[in-house]
Amino acid sequence: MPGAGEQRVAMSGKGVPKQEDSPRVLVTGGSGVLGRAIVEVLRREGARVAFAYHRDEEGAGRIAAATGAHPFRLDLLDQKGPDRLVEEVEGVIGPLDGLVNNAGVRGDALLALTSDADWERVVGTNLGGVFRCCRAVIPGMVHRRRGALVNVISLAALHGVTGQAAYAASKAGVLGLTRSLAREVGRRNIRVNAVAPGFMPTAMTEALTAEAVSALRRAECLPEGVQPASVAETVAFLLSPRAASITGQCIVVDAGVST
C-alpha cells in the first residue's frame, strides 16, 4: 500500500477510497479461514483484492461472490506459478501495492521420522513459495517506489514445538527472509513485516484433540484467545499507511502466550 510520503487517497461514500485510488493487494491462501478474514477486512477498507487458492475452487467462488475479490489458482510448489499469478492478477486489478503471504501447509512428525518428501513439501511450500511470491512482486514495487508485504508465520518459528521441525524451520526461514528483504527494499519505500498468530480455529488445527487445544491455549492471557479477525486486522494495519514507519518486524498476535 502507499507509503508515508504519498498523498492520502481520496475518499468516497462512507470513508472508502475511490476505486481509482484503491490499493491493490494479493493474498495467498485466501480460501482458508484466516485468508478469508484478511480478504474481508481489506475489502471493507476499500482495497481491490485478488486472492490465491490451491484446491478449493468452490470455496474460493463463494468468497469471491461474498466479497467481490478476484480468485486465482496457485500451486506454491510450481516454481513458475508466482510469476504467472502476479502477471495475471495485475492484468485484472492493476499494479500491486500489497502482498500477503498467508498460504502454508503443515506436516507433523518427529524429525527422525520425517521423510525427504515431506520435508521438501513443507519447506518448499512455506518458504520456497513465499520467496517466489516476494520475488515476483518486488521488481514492480521497486519501479513504482511503493509497496508493503506481510508474511504470516507461526509461533512455531519462535518457540520449539515437538513434531513440527519441518514446519517450524520453514516459518523461521520466512522470518529471516522478512528481515533481510526489509533491509534490501526499504530505501525504495517498500515495507516488509511478519505476523505470528497464536492458536486459531482453522482447517489446519481442526484435527487436533480437545486435550491438544487445551494445552496450546493454557498460557493465553485473554479469555477469547486468538480470532482470525483480529489477526486479519493486524495484517491490514501493517499494509496501510498507519504502519508507515514499521518494517522488518514480527508482530505476535497470541493472546499473551509469549508474555
Reading the block at residue 156, the C-alpha cell is 512455531
CA dist 115 → 119, 121, 123 (Å): 6, 10, 12
CA 102, CA 154: separation in Å to the nearest integer? 11
Q: CA distances (Å), 179 to each of 151, 191, 253, in order?
A: 11, 10, 18
Catalytic site residues?
A: 167
Length of the chain: 259
Coil, helix or strand at residue 11: strand
Q: What is 15-59 written as a DSSP string?
A: TEEPGGG--EEEETTTTSHHHHHHHHHHHHTT-EEEEEESS-HHH
